[in-house]
């Protein structure tokens, strides 16, 4: 994180949380991670051109052309430099490859594509441009889309997209070869296509705020970064961005990945090429479980968002796999196969952060509980974060973040020494964090990301500014986790937040809420409000997992903690009858 430790502590105290919560980031304090400018306008225009075309198909039309525009523009800028150099030939291929610039033959240059847009053969012209680029650049072989000539692609739509993309201002003097501008467009369009495609969009896109949180938590400054289910490559893009923003050297990290969906693998290759990121994603799309393209890799950082709760993952083909050191994963769910795949690929001092469905923290089906117990007892589990709902365009399944560390006895991350964390685990309950962006989507702001990440950093570094915060974070001994059956749900450990009451007596609040109950619908609202007040006092008195209703009515809780409610059951029935 930017700034020295004293600045972090000052930030922590100013926010009133256990650790520094107010990381403003480059987007400004508290801003949504999806706040953008021209990208949204460009998307609106592109989406209008889509007409009735399916989003899954249109995605490849648009993103392929964005990539073509990027490499052509970069080529033309370098060509201008070569042309102004004495005795240099602007049509000499070596002048470009020696400068890590893709060589673009004449028939694939954007000027030719745009000039040909009105022609009915524009589909064939674009396809030939893609073939030509692949022939001249081995690293792009079988990567680019080449189906623009198909009969079901309206050529007026294709021409419209070409003219729209032609208007993107590359601003080369202010960005790194245009990578920032087109990279942002590409990233934004990926997110919008994910939203448009619904569930299928999750195959290639992880919401940017989740990616940023994983990267901020792990801080991949130097070493090998690996994502075995890399989608469109968002984890890698954010890792490189993190290094740049913290004044590191891009060359200090090397990128390895794998993706099983061929079209998504191509999206990732183009996405990373636009960003200028060199990555080893293998020579083809492949399944990480059954065709591991990096079998000997030991990564320093693993960041991943594997598919949730996959039931048909081919467990029977991998019964005796050497990766299952902590127990054979069940046939019906791949969650613990993914976890052990990550552990297998960690270096001796490696760290992993990944997204899983909430069920992974507590499931005891088909031996999952025993595997989780073995992972905890092996001192691999460093931190669990329960995430708010509605972060994904593509699923409403509640999710959590797992953070593992191969060696928790000590360590050095960049210039910060980590403390011995054996025998304890940090739990963070972030379910109440985030900002509602629309009816179906919630996002984390830069402040939210900073608060969660700095809590973890302060805890693992043993800093004085870490403190347990009821309802948000708590460091828990392994003995207590064992007593809870090795369940890792943060809400079970962090307790309830200290809530301030407004001082209004219950009887007055109840009367006020029901005074306007002149019809059945409003009276129902009053009943809901009554229930909320009742539940709040119940939770505060009994904690996260207190006694059940029968114990409540017969115990001291009603008498001691619920003086305003200390009435007979008949009294409550009478009150509810008034409402109903």
pLDDT in tens, 34-43: 334 566 777 7
Q: Which residue is associated with the tokens 């949504």?
A: 32
Residue 49 has pLDDT above 90, yes or no: no
469: which strand partners?
473
DSSP per-residue letters across 57-122: HHHHHHHHHHHHHHHHHHHHHHHHHHHTSTT--TT-THHHHTTT-----GGGSHHHHHHHTTSTTH
Q: Give the CATH number, domain containing residue 178.
A: 1.20.1260.30
Cα 428–Cα 433–Cα 436 angle in degrees, nearest 5:
150
Q: Is 378 contained in some domain?
A: no
Q: Is 23 contained in some domain?
A: no
pLDDT of residue 193: 74
Q: What is the mean pLDDT of residues 461-487?
A: 97
pLDDT of residue 188: 73
In our burial notation (b when 16+ CB lie closer than 10 A, e otherwise), range 351-390 reads bbbbbbbbbbbbbeebebbebbbebbeebbbbbbbbbbeb
Q: Is 70 contained in some domain?
A: yes
Residue 452 has pLDDT above 50, yes or no: yes
Q: How many folded domains does the chain comprise?
A: 2
455 falls in which pLDDT band (50, 70, 90)?
Answer: very high
Residue 574 has pLDDT above 70, yes or no: no
Q: Is 501 contained in some domain?
A: no
pLDDT of residue 18: 46
Residue 12 has pLDDT above 50, yes or no: no
In our burial notation (b when 16+ CB lie closer than 10 A, e otherwise), range 297-320 reads bbbbbbbbbbebbeeebebeebee
501 falls in which pLDDT band (50, 70, 90)?
Answer: low
pLDDT of residue 341: 97
pLDDT of residue 307: 87
Could you tell me the residue range of the domain that residue 541 belongs to? 506-579
Model confidence pLDDT, tens digit, residues 288-326: 999 999 999 999 999 999 988 888 899 989 989 999 999
Q: Is 201 contained in some domain?
A: no
Inter-residue contact 460 to 418 (CB < 8 Å): yes
Predicted structure pTM score: 0.73
192 falls in which pLDDT band (50, 70, 90)?
Answer: confident
Q: With CA atoms as reference, report the closest residue to 275 among 167, 172, 181, 152.
A: 181
pLDDT of residue 503: 62
Q: What is the mean pLDDT of residues 397-405?
A: 94
Most confident by average pLDDT, 261-270, 469-478, 558-567: 469-478
Can you give the C-alpha Rg of the chain in angstroms?
A: 28
Model confidence pLDDT, tens digit, residues 440-451: 788 999 999 999
pLDDT of residue 198: 58
Domain endpoint, select from 161, 192, 223: 192
Inter-residue contact 234 to 205 (CB < 8 Å): yes
Residue 13 has pLDDT above 50, yes or no: no
Q: Is 307 contained in some domain?
A: no
Largest CA distance in the chain: 99
Q: Is 389 contained in some domain?
A: no
Model confidence pLDDT, tens digit, residues 54-69: 777 787 788 888 889 8
Which residue did the predictor score with more confidence, 519 or 3? 519
Q: Is 50 contained in some domain?
A: yes
Model confidence pLDDT, tens digit, residues 107-148: 999 999 999 999 999 999 999 999 999 999 988 888 999 989
Structure tokens at 480: 């207590």
Residue 31 has pLDDT above 60, yes or no: no
Domain endpoint, select from 136, 164, 192: 192
Domain endpoint, select from 173, 192, 211: 192
Q: What is the mean pLDDT of residues 82-105?
A: 92
């Amino acid at each position: 994180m930017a700034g020295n430790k004293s600045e972090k502590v000052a930030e922590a105290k100013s926010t009133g949380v256990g650790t520094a919560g107010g990381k403003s980031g480059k987007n400004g304090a508290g801003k949504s991670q999806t706040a953008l400018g021209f990208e949204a306008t460009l998307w609106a225009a592109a989406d209008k051109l889509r007409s009735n075309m399916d989003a899954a198909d249109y995605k490849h039309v648009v993103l392929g052309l964005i990539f073509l525009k990027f490499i052509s523009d970069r080529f033309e800028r370098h060509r201008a430099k070569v042309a102004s150099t004495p005795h240099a030939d602007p049509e000499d291929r070596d002048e470009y490859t020696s400068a890590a610039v893709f060589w673009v033959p004449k028939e694939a240059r954007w000027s030719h594509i745009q000039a040909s847009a009105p022609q009915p053969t524009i589909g064939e012209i674009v396809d030939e441009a893609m073939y030509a680029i692949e022939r001249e650049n081995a690293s792009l072989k079988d990567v680019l889309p080449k189906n623009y000539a198909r009969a079901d692609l309206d050529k007026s739509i294709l021409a419209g997209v070409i003219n729209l993309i032609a208007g993107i201002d590359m601003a080369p003097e202010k960005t790194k070869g245009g990578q920032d501008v087109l990279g942002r467009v590409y990233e934004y369009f990926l997110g919008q296509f994910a939203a448009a495609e619904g569930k299928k969009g999750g195959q290639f896109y992880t919401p940017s705020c989740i990616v940023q949180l994983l990267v901020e938590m792990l801080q991949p400054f130097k070493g090998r970064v690996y994502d075995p289910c890399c989608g469109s490559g968002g984890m890698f893009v954010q890792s490189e961005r993190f290094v740049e923003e913290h004044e590191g050297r891009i060359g200090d990290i090397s990128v390895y990945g794998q993706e099983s969906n061929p079209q998504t693998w191509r999206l990732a290759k183009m996405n990373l090429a636009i960003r200028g990121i060199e990555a080893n994603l293998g020579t083809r799309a492949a399944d990480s479980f059954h065709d591991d393209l990096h079998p000997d890799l030991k990564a320093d950082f693993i960041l991943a968002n594997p598919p949730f709760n996959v039931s048909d993952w081919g467990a029977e083909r991998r019964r005796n796999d050497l990766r299952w050191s902590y127990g054979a994963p069940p046939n019906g769910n791949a969650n613990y196969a993914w976890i052990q795949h990550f552990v297998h690929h960690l270096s001796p001092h490696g760290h992993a952060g990944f997204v899983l469905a909430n069920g992974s923290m507590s499931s005891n089906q088909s031996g999952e509980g025993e595997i989780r117990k073995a992972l905890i007892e092996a001192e691999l589990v460093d931190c669990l974060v329960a995430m708010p709902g509605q972060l994904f365009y593509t699923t409403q399944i509640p999710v959590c973040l797992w953070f593992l560390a191969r060696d928790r006895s000590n360590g050095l991350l960049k210039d910060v020494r980590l403390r011995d964390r054996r025998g304890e685990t940090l739990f963070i309950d972030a379910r109440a964090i985030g900002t509602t962006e629309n009816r179906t989507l919630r996002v984390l702001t830069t402040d939210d990301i900073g608060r969660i990440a700095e809590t973890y950093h302060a805890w693992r570094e043993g800093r004085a500014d870490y403190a347990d915060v009821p309802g948000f974070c708590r460091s828990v001994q392994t003995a207590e986790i064992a007593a809870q059956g090795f369940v890792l749900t943060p809400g079970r450990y962090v307790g309830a937040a200290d809530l301030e009451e407004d001082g209004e007596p219950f009887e007055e609040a109840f009367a006020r809420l029901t005074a306007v109950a002149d019809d059945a619908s409003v009276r129902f609202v009053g009943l809901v409000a009554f229930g909320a007040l009742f539940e709040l006092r119940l939770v505060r008195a009994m904690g996260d997992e207190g006694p059940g209703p029968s114990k409540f009515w017969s115990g001291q809780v009603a008498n001691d903690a619920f003086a305003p409610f200390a009435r007979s059951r008949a009294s409550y029935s009478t009150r509810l009858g008034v409402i109903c």
